[in-house]
Amino acid sequence: MTPRDAHPATVAAQRRLADELDFSDEQDFEDARRGFIATLPEAEIPAQAGGLAWSMRPYAFVEGAPPDTVNPSLWRMARLNRIHGLFQVTERLYQVRGFCLANITFVEGERGVIVIDPLTFTEHAQAALALYRVHRGDRPVTAVVYTHSHRDHYGGVRGVVSPQQVADERIPVIAPQGFTEEAFSETMLAGVPMRRRSLFQFGTALPPGPQGHVDSGLGKAVGRGGDGFIAPTLLIGAPRESHVVDGVRIEFQLTPGAEAPAEMNLFFPDLRALNLAENACQTMHNLCPLRGAKTRDALAWARYLDDALETDVPRADVVLAQHHWPVWGGARVAAYVAGQRDLYRYLHDQTLRLMSQGLSASEIGEALLLPNRLSRQWFARGYYGAVVHNVAAIVAHYLGPYDGHPAHLHPHTPQAAAQRYVRYMGGADRVVAQAAQDYAAGDFRWVAEVLAHVVFAEPEHQAARALCADAMEQLGYQAESATWRNAYLQGARELRAPGPLSAPRSIMISPDVVALLPLEKFLEFLAIRVNGLRAQDLDARFDWILPDGEAQRITLSNGVLNHRAGRHADRPGRTADASIHTPREQLAGLLQGAGELLRAIDDGTLDIRGDRALLRRFAQTLDDFEPMFPVVDRARPPGPHSSIS
C-alpha cells in the first residue's frame, strides 16, 4: 500500500507543464479572497453521528511549491479550493465557500434570506447558515432555491429549513422542471454502480497527502453527514421565467440537458448579479462524469451560455456559480462567459468534424487540441473534466457505444479477452518483464493498459499487480484533472490491497427521499432487481397499495416486472393474486435488499392479503447488489449477491 515517489518521466512532465502556463497570474487568488468576512477554524464541522462532517485540516499540506507527485496546475487549483469561509459577492448577496464540494449562496430579501443550494449534508448547511447569521443577523429563511438535481446542491436542505417550516410558513422551495424526477433517477436506478465509480472519481478512500488526495476539481472533497430532501413547491417550467421572491426580482433561465438534466441559471437584475449554477465554473466541466450519468449535450450547453451572454451579461457586474469563486467587472464577466461558451462549442464542433472524417473517440481525443488562447485560460483547464473524456461523451451522445468497426460488435468479455491477449503475448511473466522496461522508459499509459490484461487473466500474479499499480500511480501524479488523479490512485490502491473490498451493504438512499418517492419509482428500482432467467416461468399479478390510496398494479411475466397506476380489480375480469399494503416509511427498509422483503414476508411485518407463497417465490427471484463490485480486478471476491432463500 506504500505509494512510490515520482518517476523521472513524471518529474519531467510536471516541469514541462510548469513552463507552459503563466503561474505568475494571481487574479484567481484575488477573486477567491475578495469580500472575505469570516470562517470557522480549518472549516471544521462536527458530524451528528460523531467525528467530523468536514475539515480542511488534513489539507494543510497544500501550500507552497507543488511536489513532484502533483500536477502543478492541479496544485494551483487545490490551493484555491482551500480558501474557505463567508464572502460578500455584492450588495445583499453572500456565499459560503469551502464548507462542502459546492457553494451555498444567500440573498437578502425584504423579510429574511433566500438560500440557494443548501450543500450536500445537513451539518454543512447548518454550519454555513450559522456563520452567515453571526455576521449578518438572525434572518429567517424565506425561500430555498435548488439550481439543479445533483445531491451536493440539495442534500443539506434540512440544515436550513424543516418540512414543517416550509408547510406552516409557506416558504417556497423553487426548482427547475423535472428536478424531483431527475434527483430520484440518479439516486436510485443507476445508484449502485454510480456510487462505486464515485469512489474513483472523488477519491473518497484516498488519504489526503502529496501522494494521495489533494482535490476534487470542483471543490476540495465530498465530506460526510446526514442528508434529506424537501420537495419543490414551485417549479420553473418556461425557458425564461421571472418571479419576485421575498421582494427580490429573479429571472430564471432553464438549461435542461446541460450540466444536469434539470438545471437553471438565475439573474438578479436589481443586484446586477448572474448566477450560472454549475453551467460555468472555474474549470472545464464533464460532459459525462467518471462516476457515470446521462451524457450531457455540449451544443445545448454552449447555446444556453450564449443566451445568457446576450441577455444577462450586459446587465451584470458580477457572475458567480455554485462552485468556485465569482468574476467581477463587466468586461471580465463577458470574457469569462464567452470563453466558457466557446469551450463547450469548440469541443462539440471539432469532435463532430473529426467524427465526420471517420475518427474514433480515442483517435479524436488524442488529436483534438484547444486553441492556445483558450487552453491558457485557467477556467478552461481540465481540473474536473478532460478533453479526452469529454470527446468520448460527445461521440457516445451522438453515436452510442459502438465505434463502427465490425470486430468490435461482439468482443469477448474483458477477462476472456485478457486471457487470450496474455497467451498471444507469450505468457504473463514475459509481459511483465517487457512492461518493466516500458515503465523504466516512462510509458505508463501502455504499462497500465497491457498489465490490466495480465491482472484480469491471472489475478494472483503479484508482480503484474504491483507494476500496474505503479504505472497508474504515475499517471495519477501527472494528471491535471483531479478526478483522473483520484481514479488512477484509487485503482493503484485497490491493486495493492489484499482481500475483498469492504463497504456498507445497504443502498444509501435518504429516508426523506423515500418518503416522497412515488410508488412507481420504488417499483422501477424493484424491477431492476428481478433476475430475468430465474423469474421467466413465474406469472403473477400483485397490487401494491399505500395508506393514502396510491396503488400500482404489478404484472410479472417473461421475467419482466411491469406496473401501472391502479389495481387489477379496476379492470373487468381481473383480480390480483395478492395485495401488499405498506406505509411509506416501510419502503425505505425494503429498498435495502431482497433479503429485507423476504424477511418481511416471513415474519409477518408485511401486510399481505392473498397468495403469500407466490409473493415469496417472487422475492426469491430478486438479486441483491454488491456495492463494492470489482473494477480493476475481476477475480476479487465480490461478496454474496443474487439469489436468496
pLDDT in tens, 498-549: 766 665 444 456 666 666 778 888 898 889 889 999 999 999 999 999 999 9
Work out the average pLDDT over 384-396. Answer: 96
Please name the residue that has the C-alpha cell 418571479.
Answer: 243
Q: Would you state the pLDDT for residue 506?
A: 44
- In tens, the pLDDT along 84-128 reads 999 999 999 999 999 999 999 999 999 999 999 999 999 999 999
- In tens, the pLDDT along 335-366 reads 999 999 999 999 999 999 999 999 999 999 99
Helix (H, G, I), strand (E, B) or coil at 48: coil
Contact between 304 and 345 under an 8 Å Cβ cutoff? The reply is no
CA dist list (Å): 446 to 247, 291, 372, 467? 60, 23, 28, 12
Mean pLDDT of the chain: 93
Q: Would you state the pLDDT for residue 474?
A: 98
- In tens, the pLDDT along 26-53 reads 999 999 999 999 999 999 999 999 999 9
- In tens, the pLDDT along 595-640 reads 888 999 999 999 999 999 999 999 999 988 877 888 888 765 444 3
Q: Would you state the pLDDT for residue 445?
A: 97
pLDDT band at 432 (very low <50, low <70, confident <90, very high): very high
- In tens, the pLDDT along 400-426 reads 999 999 999 999 999 999 999 999 999
Q: Would you state the pLDDT for residue 500?
A: 61
Beta strands of 494-598 (E only): which ranges? 540-545, 551-557, 560-565, 578-581
Is the per-residue pLDDT at 260 higher than 60? yes
Sheet order of strands, 36-38 included: 36-38, 85-90, 93-97, 104-108, 113-116, 141-145, 173-176, 234-236
% of the chain with per-residue pLDDT over 90? 84
| 473: its cell numbers | 500511480
Q: Would you state the pLDDT for residue 633?
A: 83
% of the chain with per-residue pLDDT over 70? 96
**Hey, which residues does 64 pair with through a beta bridge?**
none
Q: Would you state the pLDDT for residue 468?
A: 97
Is the per-residue pLDDT at 644 higher than 90? no
Q: In a 10 Å sphere around its CB, with 0-12 CB exposed, 13-18 middle and 19+ buried, how is residue 250 labelled?
A: buried
- In tens, the pLDDT along 226-242 reads 989 999 999 999 999 99
- In tens, the pLDDT along 175-197 reads 999 999 898 877 778 888 888 99
| 366: its cell numbers | 488524442
Q: Would you state the pLDDT for residue 184?
A: 82
Greater model confidence, 208 or 643 = 208
Beta strands of 450-559 (E only): which ranges? 540-545, 551-557
Alpha-carbon gap, residue 534 to 543, rounded angstroms: 22
Q: Would you state the pLDDT for residue 187?
A: 73
Summarize the chain as % helix, strand, coil (round to 5): 40, 15, 40
Contact between 85 and 128 under an 8 Å Cβ cutoff? The reply is no
Domains annotated on the chain, with CATH: 26-387 (3.60.15.30), 414-496 (1.25.40.880), 511-619 (3.30.1050.10)
CB within 8 Å of 50: residues ≥ 6 apart: none
Q: Would you state the pLDDT for residue 639?
A: 40
Work out the average pLDDT over 439-446. Answer: 98
Contact between 489 and 203 under an 8 Å Cβ cutoff? The reply is yes
Q: Would you state the pLDDT for residue 589?
A: 79
Is the per-residue pLDDT at 641 higher than 70? no
Q: Give CB contacts under 8 A, 24+ apart, made by 461-468.
A: 461/428, 461/432, 463/429, 463/432, 464/428, 464/431, 464/432, 464/435, 465/495, 465/496, 465/633, 466/495, 466/496, 467/432, 467/435, 467/436, 467/439, 468/495, 468/632
pLDDT band at 591 (very low <50, low <70, confident <90, very high): confident
Q: Would you state the pLDDT for residue 507?
A: 47
Greater model confidence, 635 or 308 = 308
